[in-house]
Amino acid sequence: MTTSERPGAPEPPKRRRRFRWPGTVLREAGILGMNERNASFIRAENPRRLFPLVDDKAKTKDLAAKAGIAFPELYGLIRSDAEARNFPKIVEGKQKFVVKPAHGSGGNGIVVIRSVRNGRYFRANGTFLDEQGMEHHLSNILSGMYSLGGRPDQVLIERCVEFDPIFDEVTFQGVPDIRTIVYRGYPVAAMVRLPTRRSDGKANLHQGAVGSGVDLKTGVTTHAILAGKPVTHHPDTGHVLTGIQIPGWRDLLVLAAHCHDVIPLGYLGVDIVLDRDFGPLVLELNARPGLAIQMANGRGLRPLLERIRALPRVPTTAQQRAAFAMGEWSGPSADPPPVDGEAPRANAPAA
Amino acid sequence: MKTRSIYLAALVIAAIGLAIFLVKLDRLGLPLTPNQETAVWTIEARARFEAKGGPLKARLEIPAAPLGFEILDEDFISSNYGVTTESDGLRRTSIWTVRRAKGKQSVYYRTSVVENDEPKQHTDAFPGFPERPEREEAFDSAVEALLDKVRNESADIVSFTGALIRRINNLEGDGAVGLLNDGHVTASRRALQIVDILASARIPARVVWGIHLEDEVRDAPLAPYVEVHNQSVWLPFDPLTGEKGYPDRFFMWYVGSQPLLDLEGAKNGEVRFAVARTLREMVDVAAQRARKGDSMWFDASVFALPIQTQNVYRVLLTVPLGAFLVVLLRGFVGIKTFGTFMPVLIALAFRETELWVGITLFVTIVTLGLWIRFLLERLQLLLVPRLAAVLTIVVLLMLVISVVSFHMGMDTGISVALFPMVILAMTIERMSLVWEETGGRDAITQGAGSLLVASLCYLVVSNEYLGHLVYVFPELLLLVLAASILAGRYTGYRLMEFWRFRSVWLGRDGDAS
Best probe of the B interface among A19, A20, A34, by most B CBs < 10 A, is A34
* ipTM score assigned to the predicted complex: 0.70
Q: Region B31-47: what's the mean pLDDT?
A: 82
Reply yes or no on whether the pLDDT at B465 is more than 50. yes
- pLDDT tens digits for range A63-73: 888 888 888 88
Q: CB-based contact (8 Å) between A36 and chain B? A: yes
Q: What does the mean pLDDT of chain B come to?
A: 82
Long-range CB pairs of A319-325 (<8 Å, 24+ gap) are A319/A254, A319/A257, A319/A347, A320/A347, A321/A185, A321/A186, A321/A187, A321/A257, A321/A260, A322/A187, A322/A250, A322/A253, A322/A254, A322/A256, A322/A257, A324/A186, A325/A2, A325/A186, A325/A187, A325/A188, A325/A216, A325/A253, A325/A257
Pairing verdict, β B37-52 and A210-214:
unpaired
What is the structure's pLDDT at B93?
92
| Chain B neighbors of A230, CB-CB under 8 A | 503, 510-513
Over the range B241-271, which residues count as b (16 or more CB within 10 Å of their CB) and which as e?
ebeeebeebbbbbbbeeeebbebebbeebeb
Type of residue found at B304: A
**Contact state of A39 with B491 under an 8 Å Cβ cutoff:** yes
Q: Region A53-75: what's the mean pLDDT?
A: 84
Q: How far apart are the first and last CA of chain A?
A: 29
Residue contacts between A and B (CB atoms, under 8 Å): 91
Q: CB-based contact (8 Å) between A132 and chain B? A: yes
Do the beta carbons of residue A154 and residue A58 sit within 8 Å? yes
- pLDDT tens digits for range B291-340: 666 566 666 677 777 777 777 888 888 889 999 999 999 889 988 887 77
Counting beta carbons within 10 angstroms of the beta carbon of residue B24, is it exposed (0 to 12), middle (13 to 18) or buried (19 or more)? Answer: buried
DSSP class of A143: T
Reply yes or no on whether the pLDDT at B12 is more than 90. yes
| Chain B neighbors of A22, CB-CB under 8 A | 493, 498, 502, 505
What is the structure's pLDDT at A330?
75
What is the structure's pLDDT at A9?
47
Do the beta carbons of residue A285 and residue A257 sit within 8 Å? no
Reply yes or no on whether the pLDDT at B220 is more than 50. yes
Gap between the Cα atoms of A14 and B509, Å rounded:
9
Gap between the Cα atoms of A227 and A207, Å rounded:
8
Q: How far is B286 from chain A (nearest CA, A)?
A: 45
Secondary structure of B286-325 in HEC code, one letter for each residue? HHHHHHHCCCHHHHCCHHHCCHHHHHHHHHHCCHHHHHHH
Q: CB-based contact (8 Å) between A44 and chain B? A: no
Which range of A171-175, A200-204, B312-316 scores highest in mean pLDDT? It is B312-316
**Contact state of A300 with B489 under an 8 Å Cβ cutoff:** no
**Contact state of A34 with B494 under an 8 Å Cβ cutoff:** yes
- pLDDT band at residue A8, thresholds of 50, 70 and 90? very low
| Chain A neighbors of B491, CB-CB under 8 A | 33, 35-36, 39-40
Reply yes or no on whether the pLDDT at B184 is more than 70. no
Q: CB-based contact (8 Å) between A235 and chain B? A: no
What is the structure's pLDDT at B162?
86
The structure's pTM equals 0.67
Secondary structure of B244-287 in HEC code, one letter for each residue? ECCCCCEEEEEECCCCCEEEECEEEEEEEEEEEEEEEEHHHHHH
* Residues written for chain A: 351
Over the range A211-221, which residues count as b (16 or more CB within 10 Å of their CB) and which as e?
bbbbbbeebeb
* C-alpha radius of gyration, chain B, whole number: 36
Reply yes or no on whether the pLDDT at B413 is more than 60. no
Do the beta carbons of residue A56 and residue A133 sit within 8 Å? no
Q: What does the mean pLDDT of chain A come to?
A: 80
